[in-house]
Structure 1
Amino acid sequence: MPRRRSYDHYCAAARALDAVGDRWTLLIVRELLAGPRRYTDLHADLPGISTDVLASRLKDMERENLAERHRLPPPAASYVYELTPRGRQLRPVLAALAEWGAPALAERQPTDAVRAHWHALPLLGPLAEAAGGLAGVVDVVLETGTFHLRTGGGFPVYGDGPAEKADARVVLQADACEALLAGRLSFAEGVRSGRVRVAGDGELADRLRAAGETPESRPCEHDA
């Protein structure tokens, strides 16, 4: 398979862009951070991409050892695409891009497509910070839908719908979600104001609720 055009710069950033700099490639990585996906599922969750471009980008990603195609065992017996270990290393790259681009999320335009799980990476940072490194699975409920994500590392990073067994559940009002993504609201401020609600009985849920406590509201050791 012929290689795509290269910048021909002996530079790490240029080499990286040779592999992932084409339009749609990083957004395909975003979708595959949820785990193996069928071609039809990828196409459905990438509004605006043509079938030809999607097929071309997936072939490019296979050649660059970013993704691989394999057949699921019966009874599914369908082909799926999955990130390779090298492809998974792009997770912090996408997380950094999401953080950098979040302030540009002004009011949603009528032409803007949206999927609930597109908020997974931007929300992962605030949730992981509030969790204090504690690993677990959090259901996130938005007006546009529900998804779950994994704090403390691990793969897949997120998934559509509620988890089979979540350690905590976070419900975000629409305005709170927009403010949290844009950096105008911290997770702790959202919890304190009631715009972010946390449910669950486990340690992770307790940790997320505690993020909204002020030093004055925390019980002193001698009060325990």
Structure 2
Amino acid sequence: MPRQPRRRSYDQHCAAARALDLVGDRWTLLVVRELLAGPRRYTDLHADLPGVSTDMLAGRLKDMEGAELVTRRRLPPPASASVYELTPRGRDLLPVLRALAAWGASDLGEPRPTDAVRAHWYAIPLLGPLAERGAGIVQVTLDEGEFHVRIGEDGSLSYGDGVYGAGTGEEPDARLRTDAATCRALAGGETTLAEAIESGRAVLDTTVRAAGVR
């Protein structure tokens, strides 16, 4: 029998309340955000969730396993680590995160002095614009770092081992260079990717490989 989540329930016969029973705790959806990049070790999750305590992260992961949002598996030799990864039900939270990101985009603004920044956190607002350009792997370079986005043949966001990932990843089909301000403008609907490219705020190189994003 799977472990039952330790969260308290709202005890309301309402779909929204049931959903919040499972994912409404602090840090849970941000763990999902990180695992949408594919399987991650505990230490990697902790590094990319600045501000979370080790006890809190361990508790959230245990709750998420109990709710069947996350599974843990041991990597084969010679690796000696375990990784966490989303279940299909956990991956179904991608539209929720995209909607939350779109809703919160107008409040994002410039980073505050206390804000941590990771380049791959800008992947979510770019998923829609990049999906419109076709299938493939797009390498994105910002001053803050690099990440890659995977787009399926049908325009879906479930291509390869994860929706997006930090770093260079696999050989890309295209490369996009832009900046965080442009990502925020895209997230807030202030510009489109085509407009950003036309104005020089973004540069898209589609000559990397013969297939993919055009």
Whether the TM-score (by the shorter chain) exceeds 0.5 is yes
1:169-208 correspondence to structure 2 within 5 Å: 169-201=175-207, 202-206=210-214
1:55-204 correspondence to structure 2 within 5 Å: 55-129=58-132, 131=133, 134-151=134-151, 152-153=155-156, 154-155=158-159, 156-201=162-207, 202-204=210-212
- In the alignment, residue 142 of structure 1 is paired with which amino acid? L
| Structure that is richer in helix per residue | 1
Please say which structure displays the higher CA radius of gyration.
1
Compute the RMSD of aligned alpha carbons.
1.4
Larger RCO, structures 1/2 (Cα 8 Å, 6+ apart): 2
How far off its partner does 1:77 sit? Answer: 2.3
Deviates more, 1:109-118 or 1:172-181: 172-181
1:152-205 alpha-carbon deviations (Å, 9 max, x no partner): 222400011113210110100343233223322211110111111000223544
Judge conservation of contact 1:35–1:82 (CA < 8 Å) in 2: yes
Number of residues paired by the alignment? 203
1:73-110 alpha-carbon deviations (Å, 9 max, x no partner): 01112111111111111111111111111111111111
After TM superposition, the score normalised by the length of structure 1 is 0.86
Consecutive unaligned residues of structure 2, counting only runs of 5 or more, are none
2-side partners of 1:204 and 1:198: how far apart? 13
- In the alignment, residue 69 of structure 2 is paired with which amino acid? L
After TM superposition, the score normalised by the length of structure 2 is 0.90
Give the 4+ runs in structure 1 shifted more than 6 A. none
